[in-house]
């Protein structure tokens, strides 16, 4: 729907803007877990695209790999950067992004 697409765009852009403009003066998280998770989610996203371009077009690959991984990546990157302002936009973006993908590929 037009509303979901607008919400997806607004919150997707807001995540990138918040990650660039909001800098925590305390620096990075002392816990490397969020950095490792962001790398895993980013690699999972790219791997899902490899499968997709090789002809594996299973709905769950699209929902989990292509729609679910980007918001998880941004969430973990934000937490690693101690940028808590991205948490809510990431959750909303993720929910909307997955809903759009489900409505497209599960119907």
Q: Closest by alpha carbon to 15, among 75, 67, 68?
A: 75
Phi and psi (nearest 5°) for 30? Answer: -75, -15
pLDDT in tens, 4-26: 999 999 999 999 999 999 988 77
pLDDT for 49-100, tens place per residue? 999 999 988 888 989 999 999 999 999 999 999 999 999 999 999 999 999 9
pTM tops 0.85, yes or no: yes
The pLDDT score that the predictor gives to residue 29 is 73
CA-CA distances (angstroms) from residue 86 to 1, 13, 68, 74? Answer: 24, 11, 16, 8
pLDDT at 43: 97
The pLDDT of residue 11: 97
């Amino acid at each position: 729907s037009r509303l979901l697409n607008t919400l997806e765009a607004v919150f997707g852009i807001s995540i990138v803007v918040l990650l660039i403009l909001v800098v925590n003066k305390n620096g990075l998280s002392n816990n490397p877990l969020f950095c490792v998770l962001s790398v895993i989610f980013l690699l999972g996203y790219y791997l899902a695209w490899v499968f997709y371009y090789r002809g594996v077009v299973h709905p769950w690959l699209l929902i989990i790999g292509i729609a679910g991984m980007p918001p998880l990546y941004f969430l973990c990157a934000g937490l690693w950067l101690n940028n808590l302002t991205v948490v809510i936009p990431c959750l909303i973006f993720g929910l909307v992004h997955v809903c759009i993908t489900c409505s497209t590929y599960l119907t």
